[in-house]
Amino acid sequence: MSPDDAAPPGTVHLLDDEAAVRDALAFLLGSRGMTVRAFASGPELLAAVDATPRPLTGVFLLDIRMEPMSGLAVHEALMARRLRNPVLFLSAHGDIPMAVEALKKGAFDFLEKPYSDNALADRIEQAVRIDAAMHRHDARAAERDARLASLTEREHEVMQRVAAGKLNKVIADELHVSVRTVEVHRARVYAKLGVRSAAEVATVLAG
The full DSSP string for 103-129 is HHTT--EEEESS--HHHHHHHHHHHHH
Task: Pick the last residue of a domain from 86, 107, 140.
Answer: 140
**Domain check: are 19 and 93 in the same one?**
yes
Q: Would you call 12 helix, strand, or coil by DSSP?
A: strand
CA terminus-to-terminus distance, the chain: 25
Write the CATH number for 187: 1.10.10.10
Do the domain assignments include residue 181? yes
* pLDDT at 93 (0 to 100): 66
Whole-number pLDDT of residue 9? 63
Question: Could you tell me if 121 and 181 lie in one domain?
Answer: no
Asked whether residue 25 falls in the same domain as residue 65, the answer is yes
Cα-based distances in Å from 150 to 108, 143, 153: 37, 11, 10
Instruction: Give the whole-angstrom CA distance, residue 189 versus residue 200.
Output: 11
Residue 11: pLDDT over 90: yes
Residues 50 and 88 in one domain: yes
Please state the domain count of the chain. 2
Note the pLDDT tens digit of each residue in 24-52: 999 999 999 999 999 999 999 999 999 99
Domain encompassing residue 90 = 11-140
| CB neighbour burial string for 127-166, b if at least 16 within 10 angstroms, e if fewer | bbbebbeebeeeeeeeeeeeebeebeebbebbbebbbeeb
At 61-81, the pLDDT tens digits run: 999 888 889 999 999 999 999
Q: What is the pLDDT of residue 94?
A: 67
The pLDDT of residue 87:
94
Last residue of a domain, one of 115, 140, 165: 140
Asked if pLDDT for residue 139 goes beyond 90, the answer is no
pLDDT at 1 over 50: no
* Pair 109, 172 in one domain: no
Q: Which of 86, 118, 140 marks a domain boundary? A: 140
Q: What is the pLDDT of residues 76-123, one digit of tens each?
A: 999 999 998 999 998 876 677 877 778 888 889 988 888 889 989 999
